[in-house]
Amino acid sequence: MSLHPEVESMLKVLDAGFPDVTTVPPAELRDLIRSRRAPLQHLPAMRDVHDIGIEGPGGDLALRIYRPDHPEDGIPVVVFAHGGGFVFCDLDSHDEFCRSMAEGVGVVVVSVDYRLAPEHRAPAAHEDVYAALEWAAGNITAYGGDPTRIVLAGDSAGGNLAATVAIAARDGGGPAVFGQALFYPVIDDDFDTESYRKYGSGYYNTTKAMKWYWEQYAPEGTDDPRVIPTRADSLAGLPPAVVITAELDPPCSAGDDYAQRLADAGVEVRHRRFDGLFHGFLTFPSLSLTEPARQEIWKMMRSLFE
pTM, full prediction: 0.98
Q: How far apart are CA 249 and CA 246, in angstroms?
A: 6
Catalytic residue among 156, 188, 195, 271: 156
CB 293 within 8 A of CB 281: yes
How does pLDDT run across 106-123, given as a tens digit for each residue?
999 999 999 999 999 999
Does residue 279 have an active-site annotation? yes
| 273-289 average pLDDT score | 98
Q: How many CA atoms lie within 13 A of 46 on its CB side?
A: 25
157-192 pLDDT tens trace: 999 999 999 999 999 999 999 999 999 999 999 999
Distances (CA, A) of 149 to 55, 81, 153, 306: 23, 17, 13, 11
Mean pLDDT of the chain: 97
Mean pLDDT value across residues 265-275: 98
The count of domains in the chain is 1
- How would you classify the pairing of strands 59-67 and 108-113? antiparallel
Residue 175's pLDDT is what? 98
Q: Which of 90, 95, 113, 249 is catalytic?
A: 249
Looking at the predicted structure, is the pLDDT value of residue 306 above 90? no
Percent of the chain with pLDDT over 70: 100
Please state, in angstroms and rounded to a whole number, the distance separating the CA atoms of residues 260 and 283: 25
Q: What percent of the chain has pLDDT over 90?
A: 97
| Range of the structural domain that residue 41 is part of | 5-304
CB within 8 Å of 56: residues ≥ 6 apart: 115, 127, 128, 131, 132
Active-site residue, 249 included = yes
**Does the annotation mark 303 as catalytic?**
no
Assign residue 130 the CATH number of its domain. Answer: 3.40.50.1820
